[in-house]
Amino acid sequence: MFGTFALSVGAAVGMEFWARWAHEALWHASLWHMHESHHRPREGPFELNDVFAIINVVPAIALLAYGFFHKGLVPGLYFGAVRVFSNSNLIISFLFNLFIYYFPCSK
């Protein structure tokens, strides 16, 4: 139980540093032409910045699927890391991960 908690906290802290760096060094620098639409008033249902979500969803779904259908530490880390960072509410996500880990749906 402590190992799961420590991995979740460590991943959350590491992801926060990565997100801050990527936002400044990538989105506000070399990828500004795409990210700039996020800082302007929206003119329709979508903006060019939404491409980042589309790009990230493919590996996220792949990692979730692998983690859900395989047993072991590494698949669990794949599933847990994506699940924690895909939600804005970290506490609920963490509890969901614990529930899935201790009461898995697939055998």
Q: List pLDDT tens digits, range 45-56.
A: 888 888 877 777
Higher pLDDT, 64 or 82: 64
CA distance 94 to 97: 5
Contacts of 36 (CB under 8 A, 6+ apart): 48, 49
Q: Which whole-number Å values give the CA distances from 88 to 15, 38, 99, in the listed order?
A: 13, 18, 18
The pLDDT, as a whole number, for residue 32 is: 92
Residue 98 pLDDT exceeds 70: no
Decide: helix, strand or coil at residue 69: helix
Q: What angle do CA 11, 86, 3 make, to 5 degrees?
A: 30
Decide: helix, strand or coil at residue 42: coil
In a domain, 76, yes or no: yes
In a domain, 9, yes or no: yes
In a domain, 107, yes or no: no
Determine phi and psi for 40, rounding to 5 degrees: -110, 160
Total of domains in the chain? 1
| Residue span of the structural domain in which 77 resides | 2-102
Tokens 């979730």, residue located? 64
In a domain, 59, yes or no: yes
Tokens 């540093």, residue located? 17
pLDDT band at 88 (very low <50, low <70, confident <90, very high): very low
pLDDT band at 6 (very low <50, low <70, confident <90, very high): confident
